[in-house]
Amino acid sequence: MKNLILQLVSVIGSIGFTLGELYKPKNSIPCSTDKHCPAEWPCCSPYNECGAGPVCVGGCDVRSSFNEESCIPIPALVPNLEVKFASTPKVPKFNANYQPRPPIKEENVPKKANTKVSIIEGELNSKRIIHYAKFLVTPDMKEAAKMLDDFDFTHSGYTSIEPSTGNIVLAMPKKTTGSLVTTTRSFLYGKASLRMKTARSRGVVTAFVLISAIGDEIDFECLGGDLTMVQSNYYSQGQLDYTKMQRFPVSGDTWATYHTYEIDWDPDRIVWYVDGKPARTVVKKDTWDPVKKEFRYPQTPMRLEAAVWPGGSEHNGPGTINWAGGLIDWEHSPDIIERGQFTAQVDQIIVKPYRNKFTEQVQHCLKAKKNATTILDKDLSKVVVSYKKQNKTAKYGESSLQWDCFVTPKVNDWLSSGKIRDSNNSRSNNGLEKHLHTYPDLRLPASRHVII
C-alpha cells in the first residue's frame, strides 16, 4: 500500500513539471497597492506576485495589478444557484479534456508526464474540478463558456480523488507547499459548508477560507499539532489583524473524524459553526474603526478555498512557525513514514448565496439582455462581477462593484490578460526560455498568513 501511495505522489508531482509556471516571470516580481505590476506581467496574484494568463483569472487583485482591465471579470454565484461537491466512491470513466495551451512548442513538453497528468486530471474533471492554469485560458469563446458550465472548482498542487471514498485529497508530500481547491465562482453573502478530515502533525495547517480578490477574508484554520481545537479569524481589505483570532474546541480528533465547518455571512454579521453548533459570531457594527472611519468587515464577493499548507516550513518566519506549532518533521512524522505525504480529505462542499442589494439589478440585466420576462437557472450562471473604483481616493468595496450578465470571461493564453487590446506581440519574453521545469505548480494561502 505504501509503495502505491508513493507512486501516486510521483504521478501527481508530474503535474507541476508539465504545466510549469510560464505565466510568471523567471524572477518573481512582487506587487502591492503601492507597487503595481508592470505591463509585461500585468496581474497581481492573491499571493502578491505578478503574472499573466491564469493569474488574471479568479483571485486577481485589481488594486495591485497594472490597471483595472488587467483582471478578467469574476464569475459570480447568485441566488438561486449553489455550488456542491459530494463524495461518491468508484470514480467513473472519464475523458481527459481541456489540455493546456502553453506558449511553447508542443515538442518541448514532456510527453510521459502528460500521460500521467491526464489520469489525475481526468479523475478530477469527472468531479467538476479543473486545474487552475487551464480554467478560462483559451482563445475559443465556446470552450470558455463550456468550462463555466462544466467546472465548479479549480485545483493546484498535489490534489487527487480517493477512489474508495470519492473524497478530494489535499496532499502535501515531503518538502512541498501542499494543495488547494477553490470554487470557480465568487458570491456576495451566503453560507459555505465544508465537511472534512484535517491533516495532522506539527506545523501542518489545514485551512477553510472565504476570500475576495481584494483581501476580504473569513476563515477556519486547523493546526495539525492540536487536533482538538480550531481557529477562526476575519480580515478586511487585506489588513491582517491577528488579534481577532479565536480558538474553540472540537469534539473528537479532527484528523480521525469528519467534522462539518460552516461560515454564515451576511451584510450584518458572520457566524462560524462546527458540526451545526454556533462557535463564534461577529457583528458588523462592532467592527467600526474610529481612526479610519470605516467598518473593517468583509463585504466583497468571496470564493471558497480549502488547502493544506506548511505553516511550519523552515522557509517561513519565526512568527508563522511558532503559530503553526513548530517546524514540520519532514522525515519522521507518521504520515510521511506510512504514506509519503500529509493529507486532508474533503467529503462535502456546499455554497449557497444569499440575496443582496444587487440581486434585482442582476435580474434586470438578465431579462433586458435576454429580452424576456422570465429567467432560467442556466441564465443565472452567466453573471459576472468586477471592480471599478469610483474616484482616486475611494476604497474598493460594495460601491465599486459592477455586475454584468451574459458575459464569458477569459484570457487567450498564458501571456495574455483581461485587457481586450492585449496581445502577445506587445509582451517581453524575458525569463521564459528555460522556465518549464523549475517552478512548482501551486497557489496556496500561506503568504496571507505570514506572521512577523
Q: What is the pLDDT of residues 371-402, one digit of tens each?
A: 999 999 899 999 999 998 755 555 788 889 99
Q: What is the pLDDT of residue 138?
A: 96
The three-class DSSP label of residue 208 is: strand
Of 49, 69, 123, 221, catalytic: 221
Q: What is the pLDDT of residue 243?
A: 87
Of 49, 69, 217, 262, catalytic: 217
Place of cell 502528460: 114
Q: What is the pLDDT of residue 391?
A: 55
pLDDT over 50 (residue 2): no
Q: What is the pLDDT of residue 345?
A: 98
CATH class of 2-17+78-355: mainly beta
For residues 218 and 272, what is the distance between their CA atoms, to the nearest angstrom?
9
Q: Which range among 5-19, 104-118, 173-187 has the greatest average pLDDT? A: 173-187
H or E stretch covering 156? strand 153-161
The three-class DSSP label of residue 166 is: coil
Q: What is the pLDDT of residue 117?
A: 56
Is residue 221 annotated as part of the catalytic site, yes or no? yes
Q: What is the pLDDT of residue 58?
A: 85
Lowest-pLDDT range, 95-104, 198-207, 300-309, 429-438? Answer: 429-438
Is residue 106 annotated as part of the catalytic site, yes or no? no
Q: What is the pLDDT of residue 95?
A: 45
pLDDT over 90 (residue 250): yes
Q: Which three cell numbers stand for residue 206?
A: 489545514
CA dihedral 303, 300, 208, 275 (to 10 degrees): -110
H or E stretch covering 302? strand 302-310
